[in-house]
Amino acid sequence: MSTISIIGTGGMAGAIGGRTAKAGYTVEVISRDPAKARALADKVAAGATTGTYGAAPAGDIVILAVPYSSAAAVVAEYGDALDGKVIIDITNPVAPDLSSLVTPHGSSGAQEIAKVAPAGAHVVKAFNTIFGHVLAKGERLDAFIAADDAEAKARVSTFIEILGLRPLDVGGLQMAQTLEALGLMMIGLAKNGAGTWDIAMKLDIG
């Protein structure tokens, strides 16, 4: 199978990387800190590789698994190295106190990231409504996706299905605003009404 590249070494990078490796893909882990990238690659799978930060990722699908506060800067630093790639933005642009979104009015984190991505790259919003430790359990979960490019959306849908998740298309990239609000709602629900972070959003389609 093909390579999936992951920029970042946090909890979501590990959760997505683990499921990706189990699904048969080669996982490439990339970080500013090569030691952290190697450590996560070793943890994810025996055949996982590491890439050079800033160089063109090996995978055609690149998962942006860094905090939102640095996401746009990372994409800008990569520049044309991401040209032609499908960039999956998994970030939740929430304030430090987890009470609000920090994106400009009328925009989303994904749209802000798309502004600095190369013209030939396509940003897809996905995974932001799933908590990392829940994703790592390996259960079948609903994964909402938003993107403007139909081919990029189809490729990410196929990838999500192969991971054992159910892709649910919510529309164009402007719908990332709604998905990020849903991510914030999930955090609020975990802290308040649910009383646990072991929750996932499931859609009943009659």
Identify the domain containing residue 86 by its residue range: 3-191
The answer to whether position 58 is within a domain reads: yes
The answer to whether position 201 is within a domain reads: no
Q: Flag whether the pTM goes above 0.85.
A: yes
The answer to whether position 205 is within a domain reads: no
Structure token digits, residue 111: 């749209």
The answer to whether position 42 is within a domain reads: yes
Share of the chain above pLDDT 70, in %: 100
Alpha-carbon distance of 34 to 185, in angstroms, equals: 34
- In the chain, the number of structural domains is 1
The answer to whether position 143 is within a domain reads: yes
The per-residue pLDDT of the chain, averaged, comes to 97
Mean pLDDT of the region 172-184: 98
Q: Which one-letter DSSP state was computed for residue 101?
A: B
The answer to whether position 78 is within a domain reads: yes
CATH number, position 35 = 3.40.50.720
Which amino acid is it at 159?
F
The answer to whether position 206 is within a domain reads: no
Q: Which of 179, 184, 199, 193 is nearest to 139 (CA)?
A: 199
pLDDT digits (tens, 9 = 90+) for 43-101: 998 899 999 999 999 999 999 999 999 999 999 999 999 999 999 999 999 999 999 99
